[in-house]
Amino acid sequence: MIFFNFKKTVLTGIATLVVLCLSDDLYAQSVTPQAASSFSWTNLPQVAQPQFKKDTIDIRTFGASPDGHTLNTKNINDAISACNGRGGGVVLIPAGYWLSGPIELKSNVNLHLADNAFVQFTADFSQYEIIEGNYEGKPSARNQSPISGRDLENIAITGKGTIDGNGDAWRMVGRNALTEGEWREKIASGGLVSDDGKTWFPSEKTKLAHEEKRSVLLADGGKLSDFEDIKDYLRPNLVVLTNCKKVLLEGITFQNSPAWNLHPLMCQDLTLRNVLVKNPDYAQNGDGVDIESCARVLIENCVFDVGDDAICIKSGKDEEGRKRNIPTEQVIIRRSKVYLGHGGFVVGSEMSGGARDIFVEDCTFMGTDKGIRFKTTRGRGGIVENIHIRNINMSNIVQEAIFFDMYYWTKPPQANEVQVVPEVTVETPQIRNVFIDRVTCNGAAIGVFMRGLPEMPIQNIRMSNLFLTADRGVEIKDAQHVSIDNATFHTDKSNRLIYVENAKGLFFDQLDYDPDVSQVLEVNGAESNNLRFKNAKFDIKQIKLDHGARSSAVQID
């Protein structure tokens, strides 16, 4: 091995930059081994599908009326119960406008919506009972979901129809989320406006809960009746399936949910196929699908256009999630599109039960706030590992294309801020073993952003074949064993390409970037070490060292 020593002035003082020719085995040394897993791209998880009898029951047999006015709650539920009682089959909702209250699914029943069947849930809140539900992994008071099922097996919602949650009747909205015309229309529809004129509320109960900052969580000793005075504020998720097995959602448009659209919780063998999920962009908590503590999941050929995270992996929050201890695992997501949303594919932040063996491929994210998004924070605990992502296209991403952050909803330290580092405990989250290949993004604020905790760095992240056009290239803080190879960056020439702070074991190979970039690399912190560049084309003048960073930390060929 050949070493060339250069003595150059970098910032203030004299620094020595070590330049070496990297042998191929150094690549393997730059990352830690993958944790044992039996799954891979050539051995994907298998998801069992439900099977149904061909017997069909038409809801009109039970007196349902498609006039958009008659409340068909009992008619639809009676049809489902009768089908279940006969050993299962298909409950048909024909073409037409069907108004309903909450629908409860039953085992061995396929609820099938014909083409041009439109099921809309009533805005009469008295039709929804206050029940014990789940909010961000914690027991909470919620209104009964428009569609729900618990402890079921062999269930489906299929067809070509539309299920509408009438969400605008439930949700408050900020003035800055609407155009002036939309705001005037919202006020004209009824409801109330906050004293400062910035927020519209659909009812007095919603306004009261917001102004008093009332919690929806069921604390020790709390009763459901305690929430009657803020009932309207307890927005339900559109579809909630709890502890169900062999579930299929196929072909349906799910839209306008009061809160999350689809929430499978502790389910097994779940398939979403050819589903369209829509919520207005101003819909707070308007997630597309939240897969929580589920095993063996397939999402394919779906479209999401929502007001929050689109495809989200969760497993409970903090102590409750750790006690449940059910990870989301063995998930396949492929050939799906995301339009608006906070994130395209998202893990967290409620991941206290862990997430593992997840495969995402052939997806397109357009106009989302972030593209690939991992988020957690101290207190969560849980391990996110063995995540495989490939063949992702992104366009007009508002913030980061690829994003890892362990300071969700907490104040992160300032750049190079001296911190008191806590001990690692069961409350310390971990993100490790993430493999990302072939990502193209045209338009983002930052191409790759990674921020771990000083006591628990993000670990073993391998990215390859990236083609990113962004204002800034790469920012890595408190991470170790990260590799980026065969990556092309088109960035603002006035910005640095790569920023590193207190990171170890980084490996970069075959980076391509615009030649007029003024600064390729900035390294900060005495903890930064073993930063290796192979097939590099920049020189010492394009490197900045600061805040205790040593020149020996950087090694290039």
What pLDDT score does 396 carry? Answer: 98
Task: Return the active site residues.
Answer: 308, 342
- Overall average pLDDT of the 205-229 stretch: 92
**What's the pLDDT score for residue 539?**
77
For the ranges 9-13, 71-75, 259-263, 500-504, the lowest mean pLDDT is seen at 9-13
Q: What average pLDDT does range 47-73 have in this prediction?
A: 97
pLDDT of residue 35: 56
> What integer pLDDT is reported at residue 137 of this predicted model?
74
What's the average model confidence in pLDDT over 506-514?
Answer: 96
Residue 1 has pLDDT above 50, yes or no: no
pLDDT at residue 505, as a whole number? 98
pLDDT in tens, 403-420: 999 999 999 999 999 888
* Residue 556 CA neighbour count, 13 Å, CB half: 18
According to DSSP, residue 363 is labeled E
Average of per-residue pLDDT across 211-227: 90
Is residue 257 pLDDT above 70, yes or no?
yes
Q: Which tops the pLDDT comparison, 2 or 312?
A: 312
pLDDT at 22 over 70: no
Assess whether pLDDT exceeds 80 at residue 18: no
The more confident residue out of 2 and 103 is 103
Q: Which two tokens stand for residue 440?
A: 């193209």
Q: Spell out where 137-287 has E strands.
A: 138-143, 147-150, 153-159, 162-164, 173-174, 192-193, 199-201, 239-242, 245-250, 253-255, 262-265, 268-273, 276-278
Question: If phi over 0 gives left and psi between -120 and 50 gives alpha, with beta otherwise, what is residue 13?
Answer: left
Q: State in words which class domain 96-122+139-165+237-413+424-556 has.
A: mainly beta
> What percent of the chain shows pLDDT beyond 70?
94
Overall average pLDDT of the 167-175 stretch: 96
Structure confidence at residue 557 (pLDDT):
81
Whether 372 shows a pLDDT value over 80: the answer reads yes
Q: Using pLDDT thresholds of 50, 70 and 90, give the confidence band for residue 108.
A: very high
Q: So what's the pLDDT on residue 4?
A: 30
pLDDT bracket for residue 337 (50, 70, 90):
very high
Q: Do the Cβ atoms of 232 and 124 come closer than 8 Å?
A: no
The arithmetic mean of pLDDT across residues 173-200, rounded, is: 95
Average pLDDT over residues 294-311: 97
Task: Work out the burial of residue 7: count CB atoms within 10 Å of its CB; fewer than 13 is exposed, 13-18 middle, 19 or more buried.
Answer: exposed
Residue 41: CB atoms within 10 A of its CB come to: 11
pLDDT at residue 70 is higher than 90? yes
Quick count: other Cβ atoms within 10 Å of Cβ 164? Answer: 18
pLDDT, mean of residues 341-351: 97
Please write the tens of the pLDDT for every residue from 313-336. 999 999 999 999 999 999 999 999
Asked if residue 518 has pLDDT above 90, the reply is no
Decide which of 23 and 205 is more confident.
Answer: 205
Q: Give the C-alpha separation, 484 to 511, whole Å.
A: 8
The token duo for 553 is: 């930390």
Whether residue 15 is predicted with pLDDT greater than 60 in this model: the reply is no
pLDDT value of residue 11: 35
Indicate the average pLDDT of the chain: 92
Q: Are residues 476 and 507 in contact, defined by beta-carbon separation less than 8 angstroms?
A: no
Q: What is the pLDDT of residues 223-249, one digit of tens each?
A: 999 999 999 999 999 999 999 999 999
For residue range 307-317, list pLDDT tens digits in order. 899 999 999 99
What pLDDT does residue 121 have? 98
Write down the domain spans for the chain: 96-122+139-165+237-413+424-556, 173-202
Q: Percent of the chain scored above 90 by pLDDT?
A: 88
- Of the candidates 150, 4, 127, 33, which has an alpha carbon nearest to the alpha carbon of residue 72? 127
**Percent of the chain as helix, strand, coil, to the nearest 5:** 15, 45, 40
